[in-house]
Each structure stands twice: as structure tokens, then as C-alpha cells.
Amino acid sequence: MNRLHLMTVFVAVAEEEGFAAGARRLHMSPPAVTRAVAALEERLGVKLLNRTTRYVRTTEAGQRYLEDARRVLAEADAADEAAAGVNAEPRGHLTVTAPVLFGRMFVMPGIIEYLERYPGTEVSALFLDRIVNLLEEGMDVGVRIGELPDSSMRALRVGSVRLLLCASPEYLQRHGPPGKPQDLLEHSMIASSAGGNAIDWRFATPSGISTLRIRPRLTVTTNDAALEAARRGFGITRLLSYQIAPQLAAGELKVILKEYEPAPWPVHIVHREGRYASAKVRAFIDLMAKRLRAELAYDKKFCV
């Protein structure tokens, strides 16, 4: 069998964590996929996958081979596209990741537009409130909020968001707004553990950045749960500007302690391909960059 074909089958099975799922992704029969993986393992003389009745996982050797196979296939795709010209129609399977609320509000509409514009493409979206390692988890494109660590990833900045304290008008009427960060210790606080910053909140003060360890009465695991609790008047929470822009526009939430707001967080689109990214990745990044720049600029007017 063709070596690139065997690599393609192996990557699909490894990323989908199943032979049947890999077969569906490649529009092949499960027996054909099984034979291809067996042929690859025989050619290499090493076991690439651990199989049980419940799951399929890469072995240590399989994980190393998976990373190399992804790179080889990406370079082969780039060579094909270079030969076909830069105007080649995007096609193939694209994997995208973003934070949960950001993904639902901004990335998903872009994905739908992308799929409608390019019928030869398929997209898998992974929305999680944690940093996803694009290489290890087989993702093509990610949206990152916050400062980027040093890495080999390529990044395109598309805007910024603000970290805002907010509460409902009803709560502020009953309890009064805090005048300084320390006053938050006397209020009913709502903390979200999404993103790993549940109780240590940073503030900008005249003397520099200070950290306040809050004492939340309610701690939740998702930002939308914190938003809902604040909207219902339970207390004060801290969320990013895009997450509460609709509620601010509707008057359901109000921003407090603006003068202590930390510096805005940058928003980047990141990808793991080289200088000559594949047509499917280039097209998606171009589309999303245009949409996100417009959306983030529009949301700013509700967060003043």
C-alpha cells in the first residue's frame, strides 16, 4: 500500500481514537482501515496502537510516529497546493479549538460560514476552557485569549478583551457598589475555576499590580454559570468583556471598579503549520481574522 495512504489512515484512527470513527472520517470501510494500520505496523516492525473493546490509544512509539506523520502529511499537502497554485480550493478535514463561550459566540458562526463557502471541507471543533496543545492533541487552528508563551506556533493578533468586575443592578442597589478591591471581601462573590484563576484576582493600582485573594460564596466550573448567577443578583463576579457584552447591552449587568481594571488580554489565532500553510488553514484563518476583528471591535462599545 502507498506509504502516505497508510500514514493518513493511522492519523485518522489515532486522532479519532477508534477504527470505526477513523473509517467514517475517511469514508472507508472499517475492515480496510484495520488492514491499513496492520500493514503499517508490519512495515515498521513496531506496535503503534493499543486496542481494547472500549478504546484505541497510541503506544509511546505510536505517539512519536503520529507527530511525525502529521508533519509529513502537512508538507505533502503543501507541496500539492504549491503545484496547483495558491488559488487551490480549500478541502479536507480541519480541527479547531477555542474557549467555550468564545467558541459558541464567535468561532462557531465562522465555522458555519467556512463550511458553507468551501463544500469540500469538514471541521471538528473542540471548545474547552483550558489551553489545548495543538501538536499533542492534533489541532490545526486555535483561538487563544491572554499572553502567549514562547513557542513554535504562528500567531495572528485579532483584538483584545478586558477582564471586568460586574454585578446586577438589583444586587448593587441592595448592597451598594464596592469602592475599592478590598471591599470585595465584604460582598457575596462568585468565582469561576475555568482558566485556573478562581480566587486570586489581580488589580491595577497607583502603586502597581496587586493581588487580592477573594472568599467566594459560590464557585463554579464554567464561566456561563458564573454569569448566570451574577445576572440573577446573587453577587459579584469577574468575567471577560465578550462574555458579558450582551448582558451589559441589555442592562442586566453593570461594570464596577473600572479604575482598577488590569491591562486588556490579547486575542490570537494560532496554528502549527509553517510559512506556507495549507489552503484549508489559510482560508479559515483569513475568514476568522476578519470576523473576529469586527466582532471584538463591536463588543467594545458595550464595555465602556
Strand partners, 121: 92
Q: What is the largest CA-CA distance in the chain?
A: 73
* Domains observed in the chain: 1-88 (1.10.10.10), 163-263 (3.40.190.290)
- pTM over 0.75? The answer is no
Residues 237-282 have pLDDT tens digits of 999 998 898 899 999 999 999 999 988 999 999 987 655 568 899 8
56-106 per-position pLDDT tens digit: 889 999 998 998 888 888 777 767 766 665 556 888 899 999 998 899 999
Place of cell 487563544: 144
Predicted confidence at residue 146, as pLDDT, reads 86
141-174 residue pLDDT tens: 999 888 877 566 788 999 999 999 999 999 999 9
